[in-house]
Amino acid sequence: MRAQPNCAEEALAETVRRLARPGFESALWAWFQRAVAPDNLIVLAYRDGVAPQVLFRHSAHGSPVFGQLDSTYLGGAYLLDPYHALHLARVPAGLYRLSDIAPDAFQRSRYFNDYYRQTTLVDELAFVAYPAPGVTLNLCLGRDGQSRRAFEARAIETCQRISPVVIALAEGHWSGLAAAGVPPEAVPRTLRARLAEAGIRLTPRQADVALLILQGHSSASIALELGVSPQTVKVFRRQLYARCGLSSQAELFGLLMPLLSAPREPEQDGLRFREQAALLSG
């Protein structure tokens, strides 16, 4: 019998043939196109304490979805991303939808409004896989401003059904990735150290609250994350804003995001952070 045209299984077979060989990523994209018709695909490797590694990216229509990926997301905004939080939590391998895992105030966060909104993403699904110890793979399928539609229930069901296959292929193809970086607990410590260079000293709890605010957590959600009362979180928030001389989340984002960006020369860092603090407090 002749194969049916546009058959997703035929595209899957080609992906299997390309496993651990050149052309695997393109074959994987072709399979996803046949199966669920995403607008874009990006494959990211997360490791503790360092920026994600982009293993593959493709947009079906040349949309602006990756326009600020290198400069903003990889420059430090990834630390606020819900999918990066999955890496830190070492969640089970499987399929995750952004709308299901995002913090309760995600769409009101500065990260969402200053970065995520400009990607034009309408919906996002990610297959989470673990090809090597200390490495998390995210294969993110997106629907963006090109199609202007979320993934249909049937597409999500298809992704759930093929998830074990996608994970097995990804873990096989990228099994040679090595772990690197530093423990995730170092992020708040680094933030505190860099703020100290600007003359702003935070307690460990205040640094934790600052990161959770930027990630899009409400006070109630922060309380659950830290195991304290919402009233205690409000106290931490007031102390944080007072220490930094700020009055809004937008100002907090503007102060802290440069400090979360890629490492620079220490002398340049200290000068830039002091200038930023003086600007916001002036």
Give me the count of residues in the chain: 282
Query: What pLDDT sits at residue 237?
Result: 87
Strand partners for 56: 43
Instruction: Give mean pLDDT in consecutive 10-residue pieces for the chain, a chain of 282 residues.
Output: 69 95 96 96 91 93 87 88 93 97 91 90 97 95 95 98 98 89 64 80 86 86 87 89 86 80 44 42 39
Q: Give the integer Cα–Cα distance in Å for 46 and 207.
A: 22
213 in helix, strand or coil? helix
Count CB neighbours of 239 within 10 A: 15
Query: What pLDDT sits at residue 158?
Result: 97
In this structure, are strands 135-143 and 53-59 parallel, antiparallel, or unpaired?
Answer: unpaired
Query: What pLDDT sits at residue 183?
Result: 60
Q: Where are the alpha helices (DSSP H) in the chain?
A: 8-17, 24-36, 82-89, 98-101, 110-114, 153-173, 186-197, 204-215, 219-226, 230-244, 249-259, 266-281
Query: What pLDDT sits at residue 215?
Result: 83
Query: What pLDDT sits at residue 180?
Result: 66
pTM of the model: 0.78
Q: Give the integer Cα–Cα distance in Å for 136 and 134.
A: 7
Query: What pLDDT sits at residue 7?
Result: 83
